[in-house]
Amino acid sequence: MSYSMLLFILLLTGMLLTGDCFIKGSTFKSNPIWFLIIAGLLWTVSIYGWYIAAKTERLAIVGALFSVLSLVGTVVLGMVIFKETLSIKEWIGVGLGIIATFLLSGKL
C-alpha cells in the first residue's frame, strides 16, 4: 500500500470519527437534526472515499485497516471526549484488532 493511500484512509477515518462525534453529540440535544445531517454527510463522503480506496487496493487490506482505525479511533474518542471506560475483555479485543491489521498487511 502506498503512503498516499495510507494518508487517504487516515483522512477517511477522521471524517468517519467526526461523524461519530456528531452522532454522540446529538444524543445530548433536544433537537438533534443538524447534528444528524452533518454526521450523515460526513459518513457519505467517507464511504465514497472507501469505495475509491477499495477500487485501487486489495479489499482485505483496505477493509481491515479502515475498520481497525475506526475501532481504535472510536475507543479513543469515547475515552477522551465522552469519558467512557473499557473492560479488560474490550481492551483485548482492541489489541487483537490491531494485530489482525498487521497480519493482513504482511508487515509482521
Query: Could you tell me the pLDDT band of residue 108, with boundaries at 50, 70 and 90?
Result: low
How high does pLDDT run on average in the chain? Answer: 88
Residue 67 has pLDDT above 90, yes or no: no
Looking at residue 85, what is its pLDDT?
Answer: 93
| Side chain identity, residue 30 | S
Amino acid at 63: G
DSSP letter at 28 equals T
- Grid coordinates standing for 41? 454527510
Residue 66 grid cell: 479502515
pLDDT attached to residue 66: 83
Q: How many domains does the chain have?
A: 1
Segment 16-58, tens digit of pLDDT: 999 999 999 898 888 899 999 999 999 999 989 988 888 888 8
Residue 67: CB atoms within 10 A of its CB come to 14
Q: pLDDT tens digits, residue range 76-104?
A: 999 999 999 999 999 998 898 888 777 87
All cell numbers assigned to 40: 450523515
d(CA 14, CA 20): 10
Q: 28 is in which domain, residue-wise?
A: 3-105
C-alpha span between 11 and 6 (Å, rounded): 9
